[in-house]
Amino acid sequence: MDHPQLTNLGINEITQYQQNRYPVLLIDRILEATPGVDALGIKAFSYNEWFFPGHFHDEPNVPGFVQMECLVQVFLMSFLTLPDYKGKKTSFVSIDNAQFRRKIIPGDTLTIKAVLNFCKRGIAKGSAIGSVDGEQACSADFVITIPDILNQFKPRI
């Protein structure tokens, strides 16, 4: 069953689909999401981000864990926009093939394209690539679970 594409989702709409909240909701906008297929989102980094003074005071740049969290939050929107998964809690299973190709600094906007390769029985697999001004900055492959769904398929003894 095809689901309609969603466009231009702000913070209030994003929080209807995923459970991340301040201070860990890191993405600013979902430009488009095709439920069960892919998502495109952005994160604009200003010098006011909490991590810049400590990473690093003389050369501020976005820590790798923040980059990964931005990627996965856009990836979540590729499947949490499906009606049966909307608003569900998620858990990491794995992050593979993480790559960091350029520094992301204050003033940069990270554009993230996430693709869902598989989503069944509460397990989602896919990838995301983050770019700044058309240049690839970071990427990773993810396996995420939705415990409420996955637990329905665990054997009961």
CA–CA separation, 43 vs 27, rounded Å?
A: 5
Distance (Å, whole) CA 117 – CA 82: 14
Kindly report the CA angle at 89 between 78 and 62, in degrees rounded to 5?
65
**Distance in angstroms (rounded) separating the CA atoms of residues 143 and 125:** 5
Helices (H), the chain: 11-17, 64-76, 147-150
> Are the CB atoms for 33 and 40 separated by under 8 Å?
yes
Decide if 55 is catalytic: yes
Please tell me which residue in 51, 55, 123, 149 is annotated as part of the active site: 55
Active site residues: 55
